[in-house]
C-alpha cells in the first residue's frame, strides 16, 4: 500500500459555503484528501484556497445533472486511485412559504436538489464506494426531517425523504459493506436561513428564530458531527442539543412539539 492509498478520501457536495466548507476544512486539517464540489464556482474557489495544495481537488457541477455527477466522480477517482471513503451528500437549497404561494420553479428546485440530487449522488458514487473498504455515505438531512413546520412543507418533505432514503439504503448497502448515515442539524448559521420566508414575504426564518431567541448553531459544530458520522456506529447524527430535544419531543410529546413549532413559526392553525 502506498502513502497515497493510506490517505482517507471524502467527496463533498455543497462545498462552496456553509456546512460543506466547514467540513472540508476540518477533514483536510485531519489529514484527509478532500474533493470539493459545488454549483457556485466562486464559492468553490474560495473553499479550495483554504485547503493545502495536493490535498484537494475541485469540480463545478450541479447535483441535478447526472452527467455532471459522472464527470465529477471520474475526476475524483482519478485523483484518489479509485477510492472514496466518504460521500458527503450535502448540497441543498431552501425555499419556503405557504405551499400554494410558492412558485413552481422553486418547488422543483427544492425537490430536485435536496432529494433527487442525493439519489443521483448515491448511484453515481456507488462503484467507488463498493471498491473502498469501510466506505460510507453521509446524507445531510435536518431536524426538518423529524417534524413538519408550516411554510417549510416542501423543504420538510425532502428532508423526511432523505431520512427515509438513508435508513433504507443502510440496510440495502450492507450487502456491499457500505454504511449509509445522515447528518441532522438544528438551525445552523448558513445562507439557507436567509432564503426561506417565515411569516411574511419580507421576513426570513433567521428573523423569526432571532425574534424567538431560538438557538442558531455555528457551522463548525455541524462539521464536527460530520466527522462523527464518518466514524461512528449510529445512523442519524443530530447537530446541537436542540436537535436532540426535537427528536425526543417529536417521538414522545408530539402535541407539545407542534405547539412550539406554532410559536416559532407564527402558524395560527398548528
| Active-site pick, 61, 155, 187, 265 | 155
Helix, strand, coil tally for the chain in percent (to 5): 55, 15, 30
C-alpha cell at 62: 450541479
Neighbour count for residue 79 (Cβ, 10 Å): 16
Cβ neighbourhood burial of 110 (10 Å; 0-12, 13-18, 19+) = buried
C-alpha cell at 96: 419556503
Q: Are 180 and 236 in contact (CB under 8 A)?
A: no
Q: Are 197 and 96 in contact (CB under 8 A)?
A: yes
Q: Are 226 and 183 in contact (CB under 8 A)?
A: yes
237 is catalytic: no
DSSP secondary structure letters along 82-139: S--SEEEE-------S-GGGS-HHHHHHHHIIIIIHHHHHHHHHHHHHHTSTT-EEEE
C-alpha cell at 50: 483554504
Neighbour count for residue 119 (Cβ, 10 Å): 17
Cβ neighbourhood burial of 269 (10 Å; 0-12, 13-18, 19+) = exposed
- What is the set of active-site residues? 155
Amino acid at each position: 500500500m502506498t502513502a497515497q492509498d493510506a490517505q482517507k478520501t471524502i467527496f463533498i457536495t455543497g462545498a462552496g459555503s456553509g456546512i460543506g466548507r466547514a467540513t472540508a476544512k476540518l477533514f483536510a486539517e485531519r489529514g484527509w484528501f478532500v474533493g470539493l464540489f459545488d454549483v457556485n464556482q466562486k464559492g468553490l474557489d474560495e473553499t479550495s484556497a483554504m485547503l493545502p495544495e495536493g490535498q484537494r481537488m475541485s469540480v463545478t457541477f450541479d447535483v441535478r445533472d447526472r452527467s455532471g455527477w459522472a464527470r465529477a466522480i471520474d475526476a475524483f477517482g482519478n485523483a484518489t486511485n479509485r477510492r472514496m471513503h466518504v460521500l458527503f451528500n450535502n448540497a441543498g437549497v431552501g425555499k419556503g412559504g405557504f405551499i400554494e404561494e410558492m412558485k413552481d420553479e422553486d418547488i422543483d428546485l427544492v425537490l430536485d436538489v435536496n432529494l433527487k440530487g442525493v439519489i443521483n449522488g448515491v448511484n453515481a458514487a456507488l462503484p467507488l464506494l463498493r471498491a473502498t473498504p469501510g466506505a460510507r455515505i453521509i446524507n445531510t438531512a435536518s431536524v426538518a426531517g423529524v417534524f413538519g413546520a408550516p411554510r417549510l412543507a416542501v423543504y420538510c418533505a425532502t428532508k423526511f425523504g432523505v431520512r427515509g432514503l438513508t435508513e433504507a439504503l443502510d440496510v440495502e448497502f450492507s450487502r456491499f459493506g457500505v454504511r449509509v448515515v445522515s447528518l441532522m442539524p438544528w438551525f445552523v448559521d448558513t445562507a439557507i436561513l436567509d432564503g426561506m420566508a417565515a411569516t411574511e414575504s419580507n421576513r426570513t426564518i433567521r428573523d423569526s428564530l432571532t425574534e424567538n431567541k431560538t438557538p442558531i448553531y455555528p457551522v463548525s459544530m455541524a462539521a464536527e458531527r460530520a466527522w462523527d458520522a464518518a466514524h461512528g456506529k449510529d445512523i442519524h447524527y443530530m447537530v446541537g442539543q436542540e436537535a436532540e430535544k426535537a427528536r425526543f419531543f417529536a417521538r414522545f410529546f408530539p402535541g407539545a412539539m407542534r405547539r412550539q413549532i406554532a410559536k416559532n413559526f407564527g402558524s395560527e392553525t398548528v
